[in-house]
Structure 1
Amino acid sequence: MATVNLKNSQMVKPAETTWTGTVALSEWDQIGTITHVPTIYFYKKSLKLDSGSVLDTLKDSLSRALVHFYPLAGRLRWIGNGRLELDCNAKGVRLIEAESQTKLESLGDFTPSPEYELLVPSVDYTIPIEEIPLLLVQVTRFQCGGISLSFTISHAIVDGQSALHFISEWARIARGEPLSVAPFLDRRVLRAGEPVVGSLEESDDHNHEEFNHPPLLLGQSNNLEERKKKTIVAMLKLSKFQVEKLKNMANESKNAGYTRPFSRYETVTGHVWRCACKARGHMPQQPTALGVCVDSRSRIKPALPLGYFGNATLDVIAISCTGELVSKPLGYAVSKIREAIMAVTSEFIKSGIEFLKKQPSLTKFQDIHALGGTEGPFYGNPNLGVVSWLTLPIYGLDFGWGKEVYMGPGTHDFDGDSLILQNPNEDGGLILALCLQVGHMEAFKKYFYEDIM
């Protein structure tokens, strides 16, 4: 890709005066990924894109959207003990205008690559967190007349569901339509800012393994050497036929105790887990953990209000050893995933919140401290995480110039980090966006397709 030239950068603030003050964040907001998560959309040349008013439309509608979603215009700040709060100060979000000398066609099938870094706003985490915008947007115009529109949004403020709620409402405003669902901004429904109920010594019956250190490669005391190894991203497609075949394989060997068939997500994730173990060449006794992201919105009682704007997802883990995963039928791996998901009851969610409230510090549970450190994110050989975007409204984002020709995750470069998305070009087909070490990717692809046959 030719050089991307940054033409302009500006702060966009809410179009009207919004509430100001500090907001307590929930425990789910403050753990795991508290850095920014990127996504990118590409739009082909059209008459409406040619008008030159793209930036004005985006800027005007963004400022109006921020009136409703004003927490995004604020800033985070540390309050001690690895904890954060949100300062709703209307400082605004960053809007970047760029242009590229290349054409959309040169991007091929849009597989994420290092070149994407030029199309997605970068975030400098060396500056104080109080100065970092929670949302950065970049519009890049290509020589062919098409554009890319990328967002990088703070995961400490929103999860995927809430991020897409904001983006889709912003697009509605840009099209001249009214708000569909207003955001519910009160995080106290997840006990944000409330004190602990019991003492640190008191425990409940729930074993929150997701907060423990994940397994390491046998014989190693940390995963630093593994994390230094170069990674690569692949977008692997599964046809509807392949997905159905995997589901049949999993359900043929499923535990008789399960009445409901395994889902697409559970099945494909179990398949990915087994293939990763094989591709990484693990010894049979190697323990391995799989991170599963579960949405608590309807699982917690009472259910969270419609439009809850914040983090309501939590990561749980399934653990096994490579020997069992690869020697037993697919249904074994998938049943491990089902067990982890089924454990997420309202009581489990509430006890997880209480567990985190009792921690003297949340630092060890946050990815921002892992940037360049030895603690490391959860992912990485011998572990992986598979996040489902299957139910998120990620496609068909229209700001008034038509729908995108491609949407996908931005750059993600942690070994074992992966997403499952719908294939917009094939009903029932899926796409796995996977990051693995370069040395393991070809073997993974081989097992990924051969094991279905």
Structure 2
Amino acid sequence: MAPRRAGGDLNASSSRAPMEGRQRLRGEGGSLGAVGGDADGNKGGDATVDVEMGEAAELAYSATVPTNRQVVPYSQYMTQSKGAQAPSQVHPQQAPPAPPDSGGQVFKEVSVPSEIAHCEGRIQDIAFALERKRERERRMKVFRGEGVLIKPSEGKDHRELVELSNLDLVAYPMYNKVVYVFEAPTPSSEMLKEGLAKVLAEFREWAGRYTKETPNGCLGINLNDEGVLVIEGKADGTIADAMPFHPSSFLLELVPPTSTMVDELLLMQFTRFACGGLVIGLASHHHVADGQATTLFMNSWGKVVRGEIILPPVHDRSLLKARDPPQPCFDHYEYSNITHGHCSIDSNLTIKKLHFDAIFLQELKLKVKGGSNNARKYYTTFEVIVAHMWKCITKARGLDGVIKTKASISVDGRKRVNPSLPKEYFGNVVYDSSAQSIASEIINRPLDIIAELIHMAITKVDDSFIHSAIDFLELRKQSLGPARVNDAFDVIPVSWMKFPINSFHFGMGQPLYVGPSLMLVEGLIILFDSYANVGGVDVVVCLSRAHMTELEHYCFHV
């Protein structure tokens, strides 16, 4: 394994909220979180405060509801009585001494639910705990060591070149960055590297390098087995300190650094925490594989480490080749403005993780189902959430009138082609489909009408549409670039809800958390199953800072 220096030897980062002994305060309002299946579970759409016995955690999933904003002293923002009412105001003489380093500030404006549910045990002062948490954030550091290139072990795959399909070429030219969080015990780095070398023998694309020396002159992969870069890191905090892993600059310290100078198509970082926990940070280039294919690779790696037999992936990308001659029969406006280049990053963008729990999702679905504007009475969780977020984001952006806006939806085509592709297919099988309207209609029309727009955009992606799209792209093959060149008025919903990401483990327990790091793309919405709430959904959203503030006023109201 050839040594390779990673980009930067020392990086300091902030931690997130503590996790051990966590209890939860719940009340009316909104909460932050993730995506999931059909509604099922605890009360939805409420403000949630993660707290720890002996030490309160960050207000990790709390959301501001303007009508509930109150001024309270630090020690009054808690209760042990079920159904107890939060005080609307407390006289300063009742206030406790100010926490250290608070500048004598005893009162603080916070988002207080109008009703705080029962919480077992004694809960420390939340504001004081937040001061302690911020101090840990300032102290916690992540140290990166040197990287090594892991090459595939000997295998039966003797291919020399992979010609990328049209769908590979229109994928964003970016690294998808994901963190996988494991509590102790965890396998040794040597076990992980040994298993990685074995699984790379079946997935040699990751160990190759891009080339344009292909028969058609388009981008391909030279299967030269140069290797995957693995960096080992060390964090001087615990996994509990880092929870709940909101998308942030801290998470970028847990994934390998990438730039335009990086040659590797797959990079990993193994970061060991003081508690024995492990975070595996993954940076995988999107031209090589989509989310489903990358998850297939990760699950195969876990099986190899566990000593299990894996099914070989299907590498035949000609299964998605264009017809000869190409015969597009649909107007694929999603691909009409494709250009070369990288995704632009706006320094004014911010990213947050919103949580919709099961009851809130149920209320959204009931609102859609109760609409009398069309005959359809059922919509998927994805369709309902995307319709709701599209409406809320359009409001938050202050759009109105005849401004055009669209939801650019990535649709997995594996089961939509005839015959369907094997689930072991390795590559990109994502098709872009858009729901379009004008801002005034998205804001003012009922939610079921917007959900119908989303539904129709998804269901139109069938076998004939898919082959038409491939043929359409074939006619523009020499100019293919990233498909989604979106306006600042659009949203880009992406679903991770059906990915078997929790199946990835090494035989010592499933991951505590799996999620994106920091992906700054205006209008991006990533939906995935909530790790903290059965039936709940976490929604990662990227918007401008001003629009994000407005979004939080709308998104937790049905």
Settle same-fold status: TM greater than 0.5: yes
Structure 2 CA distance for aligned equivalents of residues 396 and 23 of structure 1: 28
Q: Which residue of 2 aligns with 1:327?
A: 444
Structure 2 CA distance for aligned equivalents of residues 267 and 412 of structure 1: 23
Structure 2 CA distance for aligned equivalents of residues 429 and 277 of structure 1: 24
Deviates more, 1:248-257 or 1:402-411: 248-257
3-state secondary structure, aligned to 1:298: coil
3-state secondary structure, aligned to 1:228: coil
2:329 paired residue among 177, 180, 205: 205
1:185 paired residue among 300, 304, 315: 315
Q: Does 1:13 align with 2:151?
A: yes
2:488 paired residue among 369, 378, 381: 381
For structure 2, the residue ranges without an aligned partner over 5 or more in a row are 1-13, 15-139
Structure 2 CA distance for aligned equivalents of residues 57 and 300 of structure 1: 39
Q: Does 1:135 align with 2:266?
A: yes
- 1:159-174 superposed matches below 5 A: 159-174=290-305
CA contact (8 A) 1:356 1:362 kept: no
Structure 2 CA distance for aligned equivalents of residues 393 and 285 of structure 1: 41
Q: Which residue of 2 aligns with 1:418?
A: 525
- The Cα shift of 1:257 comes to 4.8
The structure with the largest helix share of the pair is 1
Q: Judging changes above 3 Å, is the alpha-carbon distance between structure 1 residues 400 and 67 closer, same or farther for their aligned structure 2 residues?
A: same
- 1:418-437 superposed matches below 5 A: 418-437=525-544
CA contact (8 A) 2:289 2:426 kept: yes
Q: Once the two structures are superposed, what CA deviation does each residue of 1:319-377 show, in whole Å capped at 9, x if it has no partner? A: 111100111100111111111112111111101111111115334x327xxxxxxxxx5
CA contact (8 A) 1:39 1:150 kept: yes
For structure 1, the residue ranges without an aligned partner over 5 or more in a row are 215-223, 368-376
CA contact (8 A) 1:379 1:414 kept: no
Q: Judging changes above 3 Å, is the alpha-carbon distance between structure 1 residues 188 and 182 closer, same or farther for their aligned structure 2 residues?
A: same
- 1:1-400 superposed matches below 5 A: 1=14, 2-17=140-155, 18-46=157-185, 49=186, 54-79=188-213, 83-126=218-261, 132-179=263-310, 181-191=311-321, 196-198=324-326, 204-213=328-337, 228-253=346-371, 256-258=374-376, 261-359=378-476, 361-363=478-480, 365-366=481-482, 378-379=485-486, 381-400=488-507
CA contact (8 A) 1:83 1:362 kept: no
Q: Judging changes above 3 Å, is the alpha-carbon distance between structure 1 residues 93 and 339 closer, same or farther for their aligned structure 2 residues?
A: same
What TM-score, normalized by structure 1, do the two folds share?
Answer: 0.86
The number of equivalent residue pairs is 414
Structure 2 CA distance for aligned equivalents of residues 61 and 302 of structure 1: 33
User: Which 4+ stretches in 1 moved above 6 angstroms?
Assistant: none
Q: Judging changes above 3 Å, is the alpha-carbon distance between structure 1 residues 335 and 298 closer, same or farther for their aligned structure 2 residues?
A: same
3-state secondary structure, aligned to 1:306: coil
- The Cα shift of 1:207 comes to 1.1
- The Cα shift of 1:143 comes to 2.4
3-state secondary structure, aligned to 2:300: helix
Q: Judging changes above 3 Å, is the alpha-carbon distance between structure 1 residues 114 and 283 closer, same or farther for their aligned structure 2 residues?
A: same
- The Cα shift of 1:213 comes to 4.0
Name the amino acid aligned to 1:395: N
Q: Judging changes above 3 Å, is the alpha-carbon distance between structure 1 residues 196 and 86 closer, same or farther for their aligned structure 2 residues?
A: farther
Q: Which residue of 2 aligns with 1:448?
A: 555
* CA RMSD across the alignment: 2.2
- The Cα shift of 1:195 comes to 7.3
Structure 1 CA distance for aligned equivalents of residues 538 and 346 of structure 2: 27
Q: Judging changes above 3 Å, is the alpha-carbon distance between structure 1 residues 302 and 254 closer, same or farther for their aligned structure 2 residues?
A: farther
- The Cα shift of 1:3 comes to 3.4
Structure 2 CA distance for aligned equivalents of residues 254 and 261 of structure 1: 12
3-state secondary structure, aligned to 2:330: coil
Structure 2 CA distance for aligned equivalents of residues 402 and 208 of structure 1: 44
CA contact (8 A) 2:233 2:272 kept: yes
Q: Identity across aligned pairs (percent)?
A: 28
Answer with 1 or 2: which has the greater Rg: 2
CA contact (8 A) 2:328 2:471 kept: no
Q: Judging changes above 3 Å, is the alpha-carbon distance between structure 1 residues 360 and 301 closer, same or farther for their aligned structure 2 residues?
A: closer
CA contact (8 A) 1:297 1:312 kept: yes
What TM-score, normalized by structure 2, do the two folds share?
Answer: 0.71
